[in-house]
Structure 1
Amino acid sequence: MTTVVHRAGATLNTVRERGAVRAVVSQGIRGLSLPDGHGSWRGLDADVARAVAAAALGDPEAVQWLPTDPAQRLTRLVSGDADVATCNLSWTLGREAAHPVLFAGVTCYDGEGFLVRRADGMSSPEQLAGRRVAIQAGTTTADNLAAWFGRRGLRVEPVAYATPAEALAAYADGGCTAYVLDRIALAGARATLPHPEDHVVLETAISREPMALAVRDDDTGWFRVCRWVLQFLIGAENAVREEGGEQRAARTAADLAGGYGPALGLDERWAHRILDAVGTYGDIYERNLGPASGLDVGRFANALWSEGGLHYPLPLH
């Protein structure tokens, strides 16, 4: 194996000096990033941050969690307050063009949907025309609603709230007919309601929301580390699938990826530490969004490419 050893980027050096990765997360979305009763953050986004910390620092719990409202997510990253943003943040041209950030890869594919009361008998978003719907301020939801309903000669009245909790409360108390958010996040919100069975997430998605891991664009070394942490998670699951579920295949993939550690500014055990901390991408998804999580969100687009999904791992050799 012939590799070029890159000098560790300034961000990686700073993270090591600090002893922690500072990660922007949501203000609380079950299944993605939400503190448990012991103050530990749980969810798919939280586990991606842990994987970065495991690779860079050797400790998956060496994360400073920065819960942030949607309007400030990129601002906080760009200002230098954070090292990564893993907070159900959709990768768009507008965001990458307007801010000095780069998206290191898609963590979860989703689409914006609607949480409605089962008793209202709604089966399609068109039935919400003329109604008030709760959304989060600082997101692309209002634009998505205007575009989708506008094409059909319809409109809804979006009412923006600063936090997910406030938006959900406005829906729950009857002030709004629906709560509009990414469908995976809606599954988590539904589970927190007193009687989840009285509510349903409509099947229709009105947008494409490739949620992604973001970093500043001033440090290609750190960008490279974060990109390959995420790619290793996906590649390790792919290796297991290719070997018929044999878990040792993930360790073989870690050995292969580990050999390039020095070229990334890491050591040769970085990928093994990720497996020890959070497992493969499939393990992360199952733990946080699968049946055992209480949410039971199917893999769909988040399955591997070989199983009909969109996650196509880059080669680790």
Structure 2
Amino acid sequence: MTAAAHPTLTAARSRGAVRAAVSQGIRGLSLRTADGRWTGLDADIARAVAAAALHDPEAVDWCPVPATERLAVLARDRADLTVSNLTWTMGREAAHPVLFAGITCYDGEGFLVRTADRVEDPADLAGRRLAVHTGTTTPVNLAAWYGSRGLSVEPAGFADPAEAVAAYTAGECAAYVLDRTALAGIRAGLPDPRAHRILPASISREPMAAAVRDSDPHWFRLVRWVLHLLISAEHLEASGSDRRTAAELAGPHGPSAGVDEGWAARVLAAVGTYADVYARNLGAASGLDVPRGANELWTRGGLHYAVPLN
């Protein structure tokens, strides 16, 4: 491996850590706990990449950023990887020097409302002020959904998720609009979660994905195959094989991405399969109990398709 051919991996090894841009704090996705440890699905994806690249899943420099900076930190070489509930869109990939390496979670825009308000459908919120995050696809989604129905709402943008939550809980906004997976974590953190509910309707497609700079194809390849390894390992296990089969199939291809043949075994030892990552951070054991839905394997009615590793 030459440094010129693998600049991102070489730099990460030199500093001893993968720099991962994550959210400023969303339970289930990326949240720093009281003891300083980052948890969540996005955090575990970063750990999986660090395990493959640096032999250590904890070799991560965590970079919590506002939504407006999630791609900018890559462009300015302040991060090697963005895993921050970031929706993959053509517009984002066309406007920034980045590539999306793969989908980490299929989601959709949802609404957190107060149970006492008896809101049953997004249309019931027409004309109301809604809390959103600046730098996200939410305002565009709201305009498209309400506009197509001859309705409108007033998006109130907040750079900090904590400010958005505060505005919603204070009654300044009739709803908090965000990806439904993220809203599950927000709701669970409120003083009385039962006083709030997430509407069943979703108004958009939000494929959340990991992003990297477009200048390093070898790093892009490694991150992409880390993601596919997690899904393929689950598929093989669900089909009656051992997850070690996935490591045996993927391992020999590691040198083409600048890592050794033990990369896949390290990833699975560090975070498990995609099923493990999801269950631990969003499933029943996490306290959020977000149904897998579209995040199931395609063989079980979901959208995650296991790309062959051989």
| 1:61-76 mapped onto 2 (5 Å cutoff) | 61-76=58-73
- 2:35 counterpart residue number: 38
Q: Is the 8 A contact 2:3 2:10 kept in 1?
A: no
Letter in 1 for 2:222: V
Q: Which amino acid aligns with 1:262?
A: P
- The 5-angstrom pairing of residues 122-271 of structure 1 reads 122-243=119-240, 249-271=242-264
- Secondary structure in structure 1 of the residue aligned to 2:10: helix
Alignment of 1:310 onto 2:307: no
What is the identity percentage for the equivalent residue pairs of Structure 1 and Structure 2?
63
What root-mean-square deviation, in Å, do the aligned CA atoms of Structure 1 and Structure 2 show?
1.2
2:97 matched residue in structure 1: 100
| Aligned residue-pair number | 309
One-letter amino acid matched to 1:46: A
**SS at structure 2 position matched to 1:146:** helix
Cα contact 1:111–1:208 (8 A) shared by 2: yes
SS at match of 1:215: strand
Q: CA deviation at 1:6?
A: 12
Alpha-carbon contact 1:104-1:215 (below 8 Å) kept: yes
Residue 260 of structure 1: how far off its partner (Å) = 1.0
Q: Are 1:109 and 2:106 matched, yes or no?
A: yes
Instruction: Decide whether the 8 Å contact of 1:6 with 1:264 is kept in 2.
Output: no
Equivalent residues of 2:168, 2:174 under 8 A apart: yes
Give the Cα separation in 2 of the matches to 1:41 and 1:127.
37
C-alpha distance after superposition, 1:98-137 (max 9, x if no partner):
1110000000000001000111111100000111110011
Report the Cα offset of residue 37 of structure 1: 1.3
Aligned counterparts of 1:7 and 1:283: Cα–Cα separation in 2: 36
Shift of 1:261: 1.3
Deviations 1:135-178 (A, max 9, x none): 01111111110110000000011101111111011000111110
Q: Which residue of the partner structure matches residue 79 of structure 1?
A: 76
Kindly indicate whether the alpha-carbon contact (under 8 Å) linking 1:301 and 1:311 is maintained by their aligned counterparts in 2: yes
